[in-house]
Amino acid sequence: MKCLVVDDSATMRRIVVNALKTVGFTDTAEAGNGAEALQLLDGSIGLVITDWNMPVMGGLDLVKQLRGRLETAALPILMVTTRSVRDDILQALQAGISSYIVKPFTPQVLKEKIDQMLAGTPPAA
């Protein structure tokens, strides 16, 4: 399964790609913002991991766009961001994310969230 990593920070994209590699996801693509991500979407992308604050198109708008398209309405989307206040999380859920990770994160947490999303199980406290 191919993972699309979306973050305006090139170093952050490398870190996420490396973390994915350590937990078994070696097929990845990268985008610097939501608009670039939409252009890369084809039927091969099985998971989107996106940052929130990005130029051109931020993560929240990307999620809304993906949920508004038939072909990506059910695509697993993981938000990876520094934002961690209640209103932000609820806003992201309202937009349609599947799960949410706070930076800085560990590969173990990343794997746990991906496994939950792919299994279709709701996140546990």
Q: How far is the CB of 28 from other proteins (least distance, A)?
A: 14
Is the backbone peptide bond immediately before 104 cis, with ω within 30 degrees of 0? Answer: yes
Sheet holding 45-50, edge to edge: 28-31, 2-6, 45-50, 77-81, 99-102
* Residues near other proteins (CB under 8 A): 7-12, 14-15, 18-19, 22, 52-56, 58, 81-86, 89-90, 93-94, 99-107, 109, 122-125
Query: Which residue, 44 or 82, is less far from other proteins as judged by CB?
Result: 82
Taking the least distance from each CB to other proteins, the nearer of 2 and 105 is 105
Looking at beta carbons only, is 44 or 84 nearer to other proteins? 84
Q: In angstroms, what CA-CA distances link 21 with 2, 72, 80?
A: 11, 24, 16
